[in-house]
Structure 1
Amino acid sequence: MGGMWTGERVRLRGVEPEDWEGFRDLAHNTHDVRNADMVEPPRSAEGFRSWTAERAARPPGGEAFRLVIEVLADGAFAGSVTVGETDSRAGRFRTGIEVARAHRRRGYAAEATELVLTYMFAEQRHHKCEVEVYAFNDASLALYRRLGFVEEGRLRQHEFFAGAHHDVVLLGITAAEYWATHPRPSVR
């Protein structure tokens, strides 16, 4: 991996089979999982091993992919970032991020998201990135707003979990908005 995948604090890399414990640890805290996705029944260690091995065997890139966030200082698994729901005709894609509790509040999520945005805007010719965030997830809403995402709408009572319906906030950033505050990658 070169400079495009490495920031000041983290590096994005492909999923490796030995990352299964990091993904298992991300799934342990129901509150954390609920902030990003739906709570699923517990998975066995073997289930995590096979799930991670399958992702590690996938070819890089494509319409949807997941990368591990690795801490530069010590090589620790800090979380993952995903790209999905790509629409090459319209030039849109979606992204999401999970950071382990022990690695939060250190700028890793912001830096990993910026690395993905740079790649998707500069190398994949996408025009816009969209995210969906549960309205109660104040930390993620603040992160994306700090990065320049703009609230585009709210899906009222859109998802059901924890015994109630919850709103989903839609945010987006265009390539032009991103490049207005971030340097383009160098060809040298």
Structure 2
Amino acid sequence: MSSLWAGTRVRLRGVEPEDWQVFQGFAEHSGDMRAVDRVYPPRSARWFRESTTSRSTQVGENLDLAIESRETGHLVGGLSTSGVDRRAGRFSYGIGIGHQHQRRGYAADAVGLLLRYMFGEQRFHKCEVKVYEFNEASLALHRSLGFTEEGRLRSHEFFGGKHWDAYLLGMTLPEFLDRWDLPEV
């Protein structure tokens, strides 16, 4: 049996303190940071170490994962869950791929691995994502993966001197099973 955390193009692993320099390099591309979350001021190794340590103490609720290229072994991005609601059976996630690593299928492979784990191992029923209107690549990715647009929050986020809409997209377990298989046992 192969690893649940290894796909065709990527391997997911825990975020390590020494990853901070690569993530800081990703943060230097402001457009990518806006697409993922928002532009933050430069951060130190100490801040990174403390923030990853505090989130890792909430085991089972939020995942913070590094995305590595299987071909090169290089860190190419990050993936984290949020909004985990075990009672309702839903979760959200955010993904970011470093600018120099985009358009190589890394995001699609990483999301597929995450969905297999969350639906097949953690018993979730629904995944939700929020994508800003200017992030056409992410909208196209999520639609191609089978996510359905469920709503639009008008003038929801402020970036670059303007308010932008946010699209809400979702996928249920039956919709996932229409496209993918659950992990083998």
TM-score between the two structures when normalised by the length of structure 2 = 0.93
Which consecutive unaligned segments of at least 5 residues does structure 2 have?
none
Find the aligned partners of 1:108 and 1:150 in 2 and give their Cα distance.
Answer: 21
Find the aligned partners of 2:81 and 2:170 in 1 and give their Cα distance.
Answer: 14
| Contact kept? 1:14, 1:56, Cα under 8 Å | no
| Contact kept? 1:94, 1:131, Cα under 8 Å | yes
Post-superposition offset of 1:179? 1.0
Find the aligned partners of 2:48 and 2:104 in 1 and give their Cα distance.
Answer: 26
Percentage identity across paired residues of the two chains: 52
* Matches for 1:154-169 after TM superposition, within 5 Å: 154-169=152-167
Which consecutive unaligned segments of at least 5 residues does structure 1 have?
none
| Contact kept? 2:17, 2:48, Cα under 8 Å | yes
Post-superposition offset of 1:6? 0.3
Find the aligned partners of 2:19 and 2:149 in 1 and give their Cα distance.
Answer: 34
**Poorly superposed stretches of 4+, deviation over 3 Å:** none
* Matches for 1:143-182 after TM superposition, within 5 Å: 143-182=141-180
Post-superposition offset of 1:100? 0.7
| Contact kept? 2:4, 2:117, Cα under 8 Å | yes
Find the aligned partners of 2:69 and 2:48 in 1 and give their Cα distance.
Answer: 19
Post-superposition offset of 1:120? 0.4
**Alignment counterpart, residue 115 of structure 1, candidates 109, 113, 116:** 113
Question: What is the root-mean-square deviation of aligned Cα atoms in Å?
Answer: 1.5
- The corresponding residue for 1:95 is 93
**Per-residue displacement from partner, 1:73-112 (whole Å, max 9, x unpaired)?**
1210000001111011110100110001121111000000
3-state SS in 2 of match to 1:4: coil
Question: How many aligned residue pairs are there?
Answer: 182
Post-superposition offset of 1:59? 4.6
Find the aligned partners of 2:59 and 2:96 in 1 and give their Cα distance.
Answer: 19
Tell me which amino acid in the other structure corresponds to 2:65. Answer: L
- The corresponding residue for 1:31 is 31
